[in-house]
Amino acid sequence: MLSKVAERVYWTARYIERVENTARLVKIYASLLLDMPKDVNLGWYNLVVLNSVETQFNERYKNRDERNVVKFILGDQNNPISVVSSLQLVRENIRTTRDVVPSESWEVVNELSLFVSENLNQGINRKERHEFLDGIIRGCQQLNGLLYGTMNHDAAWDFMRLGRNLERADMTTRILDAGASAVSTLSDDEAAVNARQIIWGNVLRSLDADQSYRRVLRKPVRGRDVACYLLEDPQYPRTIKHCLVAIADSTEKLPSADVVVNLLESIGRKVFKKVDYDNLGSEFRDYLNDLQIKLGNIHEKISENWFNG
Amino acid sequence: MTIDWGNYAASDFYDELMSSPGNARKPARSLVSHLRSLSDEEIEQRRIAADSTVKEMGVTFTVYTEGGNIDRAWPFDIIPRVISKKHWDLTAKGLKQRLHALNLFIDDLYYDQSIIKDGIIPRYILEQSKNFRPECVGISPRFGVWAHICGTDLVRDKDGEFYVLEDNLRVPSGVAYMLENRAITKRVLADVYEKVYIEPIDDYPAKLFDTLAALSPRKQKEPVIVVLTPGIYNSAYFEHAYLAQQMGAELVEGSDLIVQSDDCVYMKTISGLERVDVIYRRIDDLFLDPEVFNPDSALGVRGLIRAWRAGNVALANAPGAGVADDKVVYAFVPQIIKYYLDEDPIVNNVETYLCFDDKQREYVLANLEKLVIKPANESGGYGMLIGPQSTKKERSEFAELIKANPRNYIAQPTLALSTAPTLVENNQLEPRHLDLRPFILQSDKTYVTTGGLTRVAMKRGSLVVNSSQGGGSKDTWIVDTEMKL
């Protein structure tokens, strides 16, 4: 398999994942804002901070209101992580790897791109946003389903799996960070107890993990349990543990993988050792930040090892 | 109100479907009677279905001048063009004959040039050819074949006969669109298939694979074949990717390949370097190898020609094959066929005047308003003068161009290009001019596509069918009228 094709397939998976996660995030955020007590000031701008694209946003907009944020996150081509930009990249990458991905994936991604560009206004206006976001999520799932159902489990498959799981893990750290940051804005009173539960519940829901959390833990939603579950549960496909295992598994199947395997082993040995789940304040947020950097290191190693041919 | 076929008039031209208003030609009868049974709404639905199929299948071509938006949806007309199998079989035979002769000609030019020594072709043609590559002299590609993939442009004149308008022997494109056109038609006109047997066309990728595989320098069961593309910004990128995928070949860019000190070509893979046997290159000669040709080319591969010359890799088409893809050489093809095969051409040339010849030039300059003037080495319909549609100023400009560089120009009478009914605004049916580009393959065997790519000039009266200049396309049906269903 060509190094360049491997790289493109890897990015295809990352961008599909990013599109889906971004749509999910906007969807959940809207519902979170509705549920928060009136005196809690979360604001839409948090979505921008969460994705680390403050600079790009502030270059383009003055007003940090809902309309601008949603427009920026969904439809702005100048925002490198917007749904429209990511989808464009999925399309370019599939277009240039059509010889290794199932041919229908090209049609599906075209349909999805058309759907998004034709209905973008629906997403920006609150009234029909839900349907629009669901349309995007469904499109991504259709694409992933198609790949699951018809793609060869060859090297391309493993590069896709690497991309998907790295992106997924990254998003999970960001959503946990969003939760921790929202909780830190609460004042320490009676209302905060309720608000905390709403926030952590939304964190779970934005990863579609609420159902499995309840089934596995048989506990009400509490910050420490949510954090531990999303980091360490081996079974739910969006937890850090699960993603790291999947990454390691695919890595071992690829040729000349030693350096990457070694890095993954050294990260895997101690990644959850120092987390203090009873204290989800600034130290926890630093930990998440550090985890994001580690995921970045994994990406760099993969890139160095296989893509620079 | 349904389409008014009785009023459809292509008066002055040969129409592909209709012999007179209301009367379809024999191979097109089932199609026309089916289309007649459709209401306006049904026609409209099918047109819309075709448009959205084109978009969903992502059938695009790229236009250089449009800045940001480089992809354009492929313009497609749902009404197929129909040719009888009997007529096509003979034409296909003529196309094989032609490519066979042209390959003997190219091989001769790079070997001992007997056709020039024997006085059949004047030496100046070779000396002033832009596409003759002295670097290729003395090389003998497998089977003596240089042009493995040829896209020949055919037109049908008033008499209903096919004529060759030009031979494209360098990197002809369009075959993927031919295949996609059929895929679209199968979706939107599926019901016609019950009434008429349309010869399938989808064996092309397999035949292309066989043609290329036969060129492999290594005797191994599964040679490594790659399609070398200039990249995503090339107008035919869609096709490069499509063909690679259909053949199960690797789609590569120059930067994916490397020539090692053993003069073999390798591609960079996730498990290291892998040797390449056959390169179907879709990059022009001069960009192939900065070591031999254009030193600034970033598209090619350093050392590629060295590897090819050493016989360690096959290139299709071979560099230098374009020497026969010259409109002046074209004028000599009947003599070329006679010289190498001792046969008469089965498919004829369009009458051609060579501006290099004093007498013929005199005629051309005196009759510019009646003729089409073409530069010898351009493609894509650029740099042409269409006499009857030209202004006085354009004609005098061309007269100067011709006088300054007579070798570079040929002239042909304005053809009465055939027409076919085409859907225009409001689902009206109007005649539009069209041509046909079949693809011919040659290595150890020869193959011709069943029909080819029909290109349509979508503007009323226009004769320019190139997609880069507003042309569209139609599916092409070869129909066996003698077969009982």
Contact flag B253-A4 (C-beta cutoff 8 Å): yes
pTM of the model as a whole: 0.82
Contact flag A3-B256 (C-beta cutoff 8 Å): yes
Average the pLDDT over B384-402 and give the result.
91
Q: Grade residue B360 by pLDDT with cuts at 50, 70 and 90.
A: very high
Q: Does pLDDT of B70 surpass 60?
A: no
What is the token pair recorded at B484? 């009982």
For B115-174, write each residue's pLDDT tens digit. Answer: 999 999 999 888 888 899 999 999 999 999 999 999 999 999 999 999 999 999 999 999
Q: What is the pLDDT of residue A171?
A: 92
As a whole number of angstroms, the distance between CA A50 and CA A140 comes to 22
Mean pLDDT over all residues of chain B? 90
Q: What is the pLDDT of residue B40?
A: 87
What are the structural domain ranges in chain B? 5-132+166-201+337-348+419-479, 351-413
Beta carbons of B426 and B443 less than 8 angstroms apart? no
Q: Can you say how many angstroms the Cα of residue B29 is from the centroid of all Cα atoms in its chain?
A: 28
Contacting B with CB below 8 Å, chain A residues are 1-6, 92, 95-96, 98-99, 103, 106-107, 110-111, 114, 155, 254-256, 306, 309
Which helix (H) or strand (E) segment holds residue A141: the answer is helix A126-150
Nearest to B252 among A2, A103, A110 (CB): A2
The percent of residues in chain B predicted with pLDDT above 70, rounded, is 94
Average the pLDDT over B459-470 and give the result.
79
Nearest to A256 among B250, B255, B271 (CB): B271
Distance from the A255 Cα atom to the nearest Cα atom in chain B, whole angstroms: 6
Q: What is the pLDDT of residue B62?
A: 60
Q: What is the pLDDT of residue B297?
A: 84
For B215-234, write each residue's pLDDT tens digit. Answer: 999 988 889 999 999 988 88
For B72-115, write each residue's pLDDT tens digit. Answer: 677 899 999 999 999 999 999 999 999 999 999 999 999 999 99
Contact flag B56-A111 (C-beta cutoff 8 Å): yes
For B255-309, write each residue's pLDDT tens digit. Answer: 999 999 999 999 999 998 999 999 999 999 999 999 999 888 888 999 999 999 9
- A271: number of CA atoms within 13 Å, CB side? 24
What is the token pair recorded at A288? 């998440």
Fold for the domain defined by B351-413: Dna Ligase; domain 1 (3.30.1490)
Question: What's phi and psi for B479, nearest 5 deg?
Answer: -120, 130
What is the token pair recorded at B171? 């990197």
CB atoms closer than 10 angstroms to residue B238: 23
Number of domains in chain A: 1
Mean pLDDT over all residues of chain A? 91
Q: What is the pLDDT of residue A25?
A: 86
For A176-229, write each residue's pLDDT tens digit. Answer: 998 898 888 887 777 788 889 989 999 999 899 999 999 999 989 999 999 999
As a whole number of angstroms, the distance between CA B473 and CA B434 comes to 8
Containing structural domain, residue A287: 3-307
